[in-house]
């Protein structure tokens, strides 16, 4: 696993693609630099997020460091949203990032986008077909290759922290029958194994950049020099295949689909603007979508 | 008669003499105001299966050539219009108009209850659901069997696939009224739950029974 200094160098190297001036690039990287400041690696854990959540709530220890990462080679109690099953055997990359809540609410709500973009960019280093589905599912040909969970936790002193849990299906050769139609992995897509340490380093470097970009956007907003379009959401649009699609929306879309609509735009707050069958418009800020097959 | 029931009679007579809610509308931000309704006009609130169709346009406010039409959240009639500010620049929060909304029996019960219950508001516009423990107890025994204490994790707020636990910070009591269904989108400041201190439960049951029995 790379040292934190090497990780920051990798983030700087990857930042060259983004076409910002050297000064702005430095500022963005400085904001994101705490990502991966420490990384604990375990052979197995029930869930990485559980460990960090316990530490945040522990009243006997000082405020935990922002940017720290917990990684496990496999998870024994993994789950997705709504307690959905997440297959997490050896061969995947599983980690959780702890981040102190130091963003304004309008910007902290975009952290799940920053995590999604970082994951998608990481996967695209190997498989260019990876695309983002609103909010932050990374999919290849409709199959999920990466899952992200985000939650906010209050510390013992009331300080708020974000927990971002990420699972990437890297060297997984097969999935259980119920997941096989909807999940894929690096191995299944390319026929080759990926180095998990390298994948982890790339992901953390991309997280440094995209979280930094979020802070830089906030800085620009506070200075009154922000453009109309968020830099982070502009990048999301480039990576997503959601806009223009016929979708089914639901808070828990798998068990309680609510309606079908056409996804038109993403607004400045990350809300998905959709047109219903009767022509009326609706914007959703939470929940999830699936793409309709007849589209 | 107890002091609680005297208080209740006063509240009830207030609603009997004036069964309306008066909804004041304030400038959402600074800007130049142009009214889109007349005094006494009927207005409609939001509609549609997903509450996505906006209500009647009330006023347009323009700041830096950016006009914004503000619509009604509720149905009723325009009870007063601050015509002095028509075409003028106003500061954020300036009162612009009042909508007189006719209350239904259910709304009157709720309005009375909300004067007695501790209301716990939504911290942000988001979707909400109960924490797993609370939801399972609601499913098994019903909400009114649940006593909550300050500091309890009662609700999860979901915004952009980010789940945030919401901790109760009001007085201890029974989970009396639920103002949302799991997964509903709730605006900031709108009550999520109403909590009743155990000693007030009897008078609250009396309120509901009397309004249901007496209100035409």
B67-76 pLDDT, tens digit each: 999 999 999 9
Strand, coil or helix: A272: strand
Question: What pLDDT score was predicted for residue A122?
Answer: 97
- Per residue in A101-143, pLDDT (tens digit) is 999 988 999 999 999 999 999 999 999 999 999 999 999 999 9
Q: Give the phi and the psi of residue B90 in degrees, each rounded to 5.
A: -120, 160
State residue B2's pLDDT score: 45
Spelled out in words, what is the top-level CATH class assigned to the domain A243-291? Answer: mainly beta
* Cβ within 8 Å, pair A252-B183: yes
- Which phi-psi region, left, alpha or beta, contains residue A16 (left: φ > 0; alpha: ψ -120 to 50)? alpha
Our CA-based measurement puts residue A105 at a distance from the nearest CA of chain B, in whole angstroms, of 10
Q: Does B65 touch chain A (CB under 8 A)?
A: no
Q: Which of A97, A153, A286 to mutate to test the interface with B (most CBs of B within 10 A)?
A: A286
CB contact under 8 A, B185 and A285: yes
Three-state SS at A209? helix
Whether B161 and A112 lie within 8 Å, measured CB to CB: yes
User: B123-135, pLDDT tens digit by residue?
Assistant: 888 889 999 889 9
A109 with B158: Cβ contact below 8 A? no
Q: So what's the architecture of A4-236 in CATH?
A: 2-Layer Sandwich (3.30)
Q: Is the pLDDT of residue B1 over 70?
A: no
Average pLDDT estimate for B156-162: 88
Residue B26: CB atoms within 10 Å? 13
Nearest to A15 by CA among A224, A235, A196: A235
Q: Are the Cβ atoms of A270 and B125 closer than 8 angstroms?
A: no
Cα separation, A32 vs A238, whole angstroms? 21
**Mean of the per-residue pLDDT values of chain B:** 88
Select from A53, A152, A211, A249 the residue whose CB has the most chain B CBs within 10 Å, as the one to mutate to test that interface. A152
For chain B positions 123-142, those within 8 Å of chain A (CB to CB) are: 124-127, 129
pLDDT, position B49: 84
- Topology at the third CATH level for domain B105-214: OB fold (Dihydrolipoamide Acetyltransferase, E2P) (2.40.50)
Q: What is the largest CA-CA distance in chain A?
A: 57
CA R_g for chain B: 20
Residues of A engaging B, defined by a Cβ cutoff of 8 Å = 81, 105, 109-113, 135-136, 148-154, 162, 251-252, 256, 258-259, 270, 276, 280-282, 284-288
Q: Which residues contact A201 (CB under 8 A, 6 or more apart)?
A: A1, A2, A6, A7, A10
pLDDT of residue A133: 97
Q: Are A40 and A69 in contact (CB under 8 A)?
A: yes
Distance (Å, whole) CA A227 – CA A212? 17
Give the strand order in the sheet containing B191-196.
B118-121, B191-196, B173-178, B147-148
Please give the CATH topology (third level) of the domain spanning B20-102.
OB fold (Dihydrolipoamide Acetyltransferase, E2P) (2.40.50)
Note whether B20-102 and B105-214 share their fold: yes
In which residue ranges of chain A is pLDDT below 70?
A: 228, 295
Alpha-carbon distance of A118 to A10, in angstroms, equals 14
Q: Which of B47, B42, B33, B126 is nearest to B79 (CA)?
A: B42
Mutation site for A-interface testing, chosen from B122, B124, B157, B160 by largest number of A Cβ within 10 Å: B160
Residues of A in contact with B129 (CB under 8 A): 251
- Coil, helix or strand for B22? strand
| B49 contact partners, CB below 8 Å, separation of at least 6 | A259
| Of A111, A256, A287, Cβ closest to residue B162 | A111
pLDDT class of B216 with cuts at 50, 70, 90: low
Residue of B nearest to A116 (CA): B161
Residue with tokens 């890297």: A170
pLDDT recorded at residue B5: 47
Chain A neighbors of B185, CB-CB under 8 A: 284-286
List the domain boundaries for chain A: 4-236, 243-291
């Amino acid at each position: 696993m790379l040292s934190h200094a090497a990780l920051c160098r990798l983030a700087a190297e990857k930042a060259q693609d983004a076409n910002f001036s050297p000064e702005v690039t430095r500022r963005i990287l400085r904001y994101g630099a705490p990502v991966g400041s420490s990384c604990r690696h375990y052979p197995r854990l029930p869930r990485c997020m559980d460990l960090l959540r316990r530490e945040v709530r522990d009243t006997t220890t000082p405020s935990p460091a922002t940017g720290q990462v917990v990684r496990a080679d496999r998870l024994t109690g993994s789950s997705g949203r709504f307690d959905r099953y997440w297959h997490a055997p050896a061969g995947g990359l599983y980690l959780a990032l702890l981040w102190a809540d130091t963003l304004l609410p309008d910007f902290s709500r975009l952290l799940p986008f920053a995590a999604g973009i970082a994951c998608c960019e990481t996967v695209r280093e190997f498989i260019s077909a990876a695309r983002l589905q609103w909010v932050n599912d990374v999919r290849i040909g409709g199959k999920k290759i990466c899952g992200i969970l985000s939650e906010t936790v209050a510390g013992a002193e009331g300080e708020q922290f974000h927990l971002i849990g990420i699972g990437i299906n890297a060297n997984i050769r097969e999935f259980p029958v119920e997941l096989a139609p909807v999940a894929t992995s690096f191995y299944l897509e390319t026929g080759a194994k990926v180095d998990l340490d390298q994948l982890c380093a790339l992901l953390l470097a991309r997280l440094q950049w995209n979280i930094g970009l979020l802070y830089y956007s906030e800085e620009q907003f506070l200075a009154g020099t922000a453009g109309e379009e968020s830099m982070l959401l502009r990048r999301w649009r480039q990576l997503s295949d959601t806009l223009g699609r016929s979708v089914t929306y639901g808070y828990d879309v798998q068990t309680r689909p609510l309606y079908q609509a056409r996804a038109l735009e993403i607004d400045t707050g990350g809300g998905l603007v959709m047109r219903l069958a009767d022509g009326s418009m609706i914007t959703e800020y939470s929940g999830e979508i699936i793409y309709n097959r007849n589209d | 008669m107890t002091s609680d029931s005297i208080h209740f009679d006063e509240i009830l007579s207030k609603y009997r003499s004036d069964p309306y809610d008066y909804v004041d509308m304030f400038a959402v931000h600074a800007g130049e105001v142009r009214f889109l309704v007349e005094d006494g006009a009927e207005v409609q609130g939001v509609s549609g299966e997903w509450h996505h169709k906006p209500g009647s346009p009330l006023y347009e406010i323009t700041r830096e050539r950016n006009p914004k039409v503000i619509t009604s959240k509720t149905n009723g009639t325009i009870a007063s219009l601050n015509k002095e500010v028509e075409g003028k620049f106003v500061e954020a929060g300036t009162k612009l108009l009042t909508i007189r909304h006719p209350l239904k029996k259910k709304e009157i019960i709720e309005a009375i209850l909300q004067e007695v219950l501790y209301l716990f508001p939504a911290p942000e516009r988001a979707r909400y659901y109960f924490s797993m423990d609370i939801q399972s107890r609601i499913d098994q025994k019903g909400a009114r069997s649940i006593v909550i204490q300050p500091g309890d994790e009662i609700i999860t707020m979901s915004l952009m696939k980010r789940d945030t636990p919401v901790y109760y910070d009001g007085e201890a009591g029974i989970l009396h009224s639920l103002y949302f269904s799991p997964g509903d989108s709730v605006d900031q400041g709108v009550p999520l739950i109403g909590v009743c201190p155990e000693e007030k439960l009897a008078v609250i049951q009396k309120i509901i029974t009397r309004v249901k029995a007496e209100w035409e």
